A and B are shown apart, each in its own frame.
Chain A
Amino acid sequence: MLDFFFDPENWSGGNGIPMRTLAHLAYTFIALGIAAAIAVPLGILIGVTGRGEALIAGLANALRALPTLGLLILIVMLVAPLISSSLAFTIPAIIVLVLLAVPPILTGTYSGIQNADRNAVQAARGMGYTTGQILWRVQVPMALPLIMSGLRGALLQVVSTATVAAFVSLGGLGRYIIDGRATQDYPQMLAGALLVAVLALALELLFMLLERFVVSPGLQRKTTSGAALATA
């Protein structure tokens, strides 16, 4: 296994560790970005209006019960024939990643908005804030810890699923695992697994730091962990 890491072949070119790590990160953040662009505004809407919460909670639960691998393979098989370009396998895989990332972000956002301190909201109203000002200056900042936890949970899910997606031809670090398995090359599989594990841990720690940075100091307190929200 160490030979794998010391082999210069594995550090250059499109199949090298740096490029595959970058590809893995690219898929992850593209999916996370699209999911956030959908889930954060929708979550704010649900949190403010209080409508559709039961529906979303139900959908999130149903999605959790669906086996990720089956969903991934099924969607790739159904969507891939419709796309003729070289992205035939990439696009459906990213669709699944987005699908998995939306529920934790959505849940984090609307529960964050709903759990914003009512006294603070009323105080802002008393100070003459408009509804829009209350939302952007009070509710959203107060919801940030939970929104960030939701994003962290989604990130975790996407990094992990992007690895499995190598099975349906997606690039990234999962390739070492799938290709190693196909050629009975256990050291390669192990190297891929270690790289993925290190990447996931590094992203988790980075995100925890980011949370401290983004969240208002007045609101720094223990919140639900990303892991819990990933499955919430």
Chain B
Amino acid sequence: MGFDWIAYNAGRIGELTLAHLWMTLTPTLIGLVIALPVGWVAYRYRRLYPWIVGVGGLLYTLPSLAVFIILPMMVGTQILDPINVLIALTVYTFALLVRSVADGLASVSPETNQAAEAMGYSSMQRFVRVQLPVATPVIMASMRVILVTNVSIVSMAAVIGVPQLGSLFTEGFSRRQTLPIIVGIVVCLILAIILDQLVVRASKWLTPWLPKERA
């Protein structure tokens, strides 16, 4: 037990890491794509804001393990299907992000909005070329939190038997071995740090006009 175990299981650890990465990234990106237009609606029609953000908050309240089990009944999938995890994480991502998008868009100064309008931008052009870029740091700050949290939530799915890095935790527990658990935690941490740094880089790349020290 030790480096032997890691060397012997390197292939499997790699597979689990890829599965974990895929199950984290896909729903986060889909959640972002859904949260952008809905967040815009919540910003544009202020009366809908409390409803949209409120529903998001309640969805986020649901414990992940419960959602993994209830979803198959609602969408008719198999309980072990990884698609349940993907849908659950998409919902969580959307639930947290929709508020940041709406708040980020609302934080654009009236002068900036008026300038864009005076330049003849349509509502759509204003959203894509002015409001969204200005709101990017706020949205990206949320994305960092969400990605790191999602890495942890994905591992929960091991309890019901969907294979990813969390499988190392459940297997380690049933065999009373700590090494697989420690390896799983370390790989999850590395994954979280890499993804976090990628968002930081993406945010800087998307907002070249901001001073360098802003992340």
Contacts and interface: CB of A to CB of B under 8 A. Distances in A.
A69 B160 CA distance: 12
B79 A64 contact: no
Contacts of B73: 1, 190
Interface residues of A, number: 43
A65 B160 contact: no
B60 interface: yes
Contact of A200 (B63, B68, B165): B63
Interface string B97-109: 0010000000000
Contacts of A227: 56-57, 60-61, 95-96
A65 B152 contact: yes
A34 to B, nearest CB: 21
Contact of A70 (B68, B95, B155): B155
Interface string A74-92: 1011100000000000000
Contact of B148 (A64, A159, A160): A64
Interface in B166-183: 166, 168-170, 172-173, 176, 178, 181-182
Given A77-B178, A167-B159, A201-B61, A64 B69 contact: no
Interface in A26-75: 61, 64-71, 73-74
Interface string B115-140: 00000000000000000000000000
B176 A193 contact: no
Given A65-B189, A193-B66, A70 B169 contact: yes
A139 interface: no
B111 to A, nearest CB: 24
Contacts of A74: 169, 178, 181-182, 185
B155 A231 contact: no
Nearest to B154: A67
A226 B70 contact: no
B178 to A, nearest CB: 6
B155 A67 contact: yes
Interface residues on chain B, size class: 35 or more
Nearest to A196: B66
Contact of A65 (B53, B99, B151, B169): B151
Contacts of B67: 193, 197
Contact of A69 (B66, B148, B159): B159
* Main SS class of interface, B: helix
A10 to B, nearest CB: 17
Given A204-B58, A227-B96, A69 B69 contact: no
A191 to B, nearest CB: 10
Interface in A156-177: 156, 159-160, 163-164, 167-168, 174, 177
Given A189-B69, A193-B69, A225-B53, A70 B181 contact: yes
Interface string B45-64: 00000000100111011111
B61 A77 contact: no
Given A70-B184, A168-B173, A204-B61, 7 more contacts: A67-B184, A74-B169, A156-B61, A164-B156, A177-B69, A186-B79, A227-B56
18 contacts: A61-B148, A64-B152, A65-B188, A66-B189, A67-B166, A67-B188, A70-B155, A73-B170, A73-B181, A192-B66, A193-B69, A197-B70, A200-B62, A200-B63, A200-B66, A225-B57, A225-B99, A227-B96
Interface of A: 1, 61, 64-71, 73-74, 76-78, 156, 159-160, 163-164, 167-168, 174, 177-178, 181, 186, 189-190, 192-194, 196-197, 200-201, 204, 225-228, 231-232
